[in-house]
Structure 1
Amino acid sequence: MSDFSDNDKAAIYRVIAERRDMRHFKPDPIDASVLQRLLAAAHMAPSVGLMQPWRFIRITDSALRHRIHALVEEERIATAQALAEREDEFMRLKVEGILDCGELLVAALPDQREQHIFGRRTLPEMDLASMACAIQNLWLAARAEGLGAGWVSLFDPQRLAALLHMPPDAKPCAVLCIGHVEAFYPRPMLEQEGWAQRKPLQAMVSENGWSGVEEK
Structure 2
Amino acid sequence: MVSFDDAFRRQLHELFVWRRDVRRFRTDPLPDGSIERLIEIACLSPSVGLSQPWRFVIVDDATRRRAVIEDFKACNADALRSYSGER
Pairwise same-fold verdict (TM > 0.5): yes
CA separation of 1:48 and 1:75: change in aligned 2, threshold 3 A? closer
Task: Write the deviation string for residues 102-132 of structure 1: whole angstroms up to 9, x where unpaired.
Answer: xxxxxxxxxxxxxxxxxxxxxxxxxxxxxxx
Distance in 1 of aligned mates of 2:50 and 2:82: 38
Matched, 1:73 2:73: yes
1:20 maps to which residue?
20
Unaligned 5+ runs, structure 1 = 87-194, 196-216
Deviation at 1:57, TM superposition (A): 1.3
CA separation of 1:72 and 1:12: change in aligned 2, threshold 3 A? same
Task: Write the deviation string for residues 9-65 of structure 1: whole angstroms up to 9, x where unpaired.
Answer: 222222233322211122122223332332111111223333333321111122111
CA separation of 1:85 and 1:45: change in aligned 2, threshold 3 A? closer
| Counterparts of residues 48-197 of structure 1 (less than 5 Å) | 48-78=48-78, 79=80, 81-83=81-83
Unaligned 5+ runs, structure 2 = none
Higher relative contact order (CA 8 A, sep 6+): 1
Matched residue SS, 1:58 = coil
Distance in 1 of aligned mates of 2:11 and 2:37: 18
Between structures 1 and 2, the one with greater helix share: 2
2:35 maps to which residue?
35
Task: Write the deviation string for residues 170-197 of structure 1: whole angstroms up to 9, x where unpaired.
Answer: xxxxxxxxxxxxxxxxxxxxxxxxx8xx
Task: Write the deviation string for residues 76-120 of structure 1: whole angstroms up to 9, x where unpaired.
Answer: 4332x445677xxxxxxxxxxxxxxxxxxxxxxxxxxxxxxxxxx
CA separation of 1:37 and 1:6: change in aligned 2, threshold 3 A? farther
CA separation of 1:63 and 1:43: change in aligned 2, threshold 3 A? same
Between structures 1 and 2, the one with greater strand share: 1
| TM-score normalised to structure 2 length | 0.69
Q: Give the total of aligned pairs.
A: 85
